[in-house]
Structure formats: structure tokens, C-alpha cells
Structure 1
């Protein structure tokens, strides 16, 4: 099994692209979903955020107030970095175990929705291919304002906090231009899907995993026989 990363800018349409992969039976592991799980009340990241940012970033019921926390971190590079240090290890751990489950289910490849792939840099080396979803800058701004009900100034601040789309596209294996119609985007994704399905990298990984498992089982059997032989020899000497 190999891993394909989908990234892009905020409000460029990453989720729409991932939904198309889901329609065709490709598992999608979403970093945003994992991020919501790891900050649930009582989790390790929840406690660390509370310690670092205080009660002001939580609702009365203990749930994280994402809007308040978002205002804080997008106004401060240092605080944004601190939040990432708290949450990213937990998020990647959550995604890792989800990927392991997909591996044992026999999937050829999976897709990971990673909004901050290049900004964090942690997952790049684990991805076989990278897809960047982009769109025209004015359209990105309009989508963000309408989706998040925010002012133009706040939307621009959110966009500027991320790496530019141009730099992301330079590091991609595939680029999906999502400024056109839904059908245009779908056709681009299906072309990429066809290419990904033609790859055979997953067989190499499965062969390596199979050899490792075979070696481990053989070692355990050998140890078992050695223990039994030792016990049998001890009993024989006593007789």
C-alpha cells in the first residue's frame, strides 16, 4: 500500500477532491477529522492546550473554542508554532493507526487530506505522490469569506498564514486546478486516479511486509522449539 497526499490552500477545494476519491472506493484519512479527535476533552492535546492557552479558548462544556483559538494563533506565529507542536504528533499518530488498518484491509493505496503538508514538513517523506489543489486567488478569497462568514481582512490573514499556492504547486506530482466547474475538477481527479491505479509500488511494500512477518514467525517458532528442547533435556537429566 502506498500513500497519496492531498494538500493545497485554505478554501481551494481539497475536500471536494477527496470526496471524488471516496466515491471510487479509495480510503481517505482526513487530518482535520483527526485534529478534532485529539482535542476532545480529556485527551493529551486537550490538557496541553489548556495549560498553554488557558480556559479562554474553551467553551463552558470543555469543548475547544476553535474560533477563539484561531484568532490567537493567526495573530502570532509563535503561538501557532506552539499549537502545532502540541497537536501534530497526536494527529499523525491518529492517522498512522488509521493507515495501518487500511493496510491490513488490502487497499492498493490511500489518500491523506493534509492541509498543512508543506508547512509542517513532517509527512512529506512518507508520501508516494502529492496532489495539490489550487484555484485563482480571488476565487479562493471569495470562497473563504462565504464559507467561514468572515471579513475580507480576516480571510486574507488566514490565507497569508499559509505557504503560497505557487510554491506548493512546484512541489506537487499532480495539480488539480479547481477554478472551473465541478465536472472539470472531476475529470482531472479521475485522470489522476487512473494513473495511481496503474502503479505497482504497493506490491513491493507488501512483499517486504510479508518477508518481515515470515521472518518474525520463523523466529518465534525457533525460540519455541528451543524452549521446549531445553525443558525436555532438563526433565531427561533429572530422570
Structure 2
């Protein structure tokens, strides 16, 4: 039985080792706490020193400057009116001039218009097949302008503006409704002839023809445009050839 019983010194060795390790850890922790406390104390002392120096500088500045008084500013006049909104007058005048010069009432389109069963036009250099396709509805009507009830000047400006905007949007085929003149004095279709004369003068117009019955018949024209063919609002006095669409 004495052989199996452990010796007392052997059982106490692990306990003594753990106790020594714990004491070492406590010593390290105590040292770390002391260092942390010392660091905080140094920071506190430095902050207090900086505050004293700042207060001393401020006190010195006040002594050197002495008593000061604010400068009396002159009273400012209060504006009682709101300035008018800026208007682009020159831009409007330029646009109006472009519209006025773009198409003329004195232009005679008869030398450029062809006739068969109905009046039509295509720019020189453009095949008549383009007009045949336009009549057959090859191009879908993408926008339309109704000139009913407008005076001649109003209709001219409205048409010029319509052509310019549709070209900017990249549209190819549009319809212009000018009416049959049944409500005009003497039943004469005044706008019908004017619209065709104006269209011939527009460089953006490739071709046009009388609309089909369900599209307005003799009271409207289908117009084929070439987007980007000319600067909007410019005339084409020579009516030179252009490439087919």
C-alpha cells in the first residue's frame, strides 16, 4: 500500500507552480496599470500647461490691444422692389428674323412642282420612286400640323417652326393640314398654295405630295424630311440635288 500512495511533495508541486504563475500575472497587470496611470497623468499635466499658456496669450493680447469699440457702419438702403426677370430678347429677335427670312410669300413654286393626278414635289436628284412610296404610305406619319383658322403670317411661322422642331427630333414623315379652302372668301384654297410654296423653299424637305383620302386628301400634304439636311431655318435658293433617303 505504501508503493501506490503518492508522495506528499509530488502532489504539492503543481499547486505551487500555478500559484507562482498567478502571482507573476498579477505583477504584470499591476505594472501595466501603473504605466497607464502615469501616462494619463502626463497627458493631464500637458493639457493643463497648454491651457495656462493659451490663457496667458489671450490675456497678453487683451492688454496690448486695449479697449475696442465696433466701427459704426452706415445704414444700408433696403431695396423695396424685385428686379425683373431677365428675358432673352436678342435670342427672340434672332429667331423671329430667321422665321421671317426662312420662307417667302413671293416665291413661285410652279417651276418646281410636278403634276399628274395630283400635285407633288421632290427635290432635284431625288427619284420619283420616293414620291410613289410616300403616296403608298411607305413612311408612317409621325407628326402633323393643322393650319386651319390661321392667318397667312401665322401659318407661315407655324410651318417654319414645325419643320425645324420635327427635324430636331429626327422625324421623317409628317402631315400638314392646310384645308380645302371651303371656308375662305370665294372658296379659294389660299393656304393650300402657300403651304406648297413654303415647303419647296425648305432645305429639309425632300419631297411632298397630296395626302391620301383617309389622310386628308386635297386638304393636306404628306411631307418627307431629311433630318440634319440643313441648319433649321435656312433657305435653299438653288434647290440643288441631294441624296435620296
Give me the TM-score of the superposition, normalised by structure 1.
0.25
Larger Rg over CA atoms:
2
* Higher RCO (CA-CA < 8 Å; seq separation 6+): 1
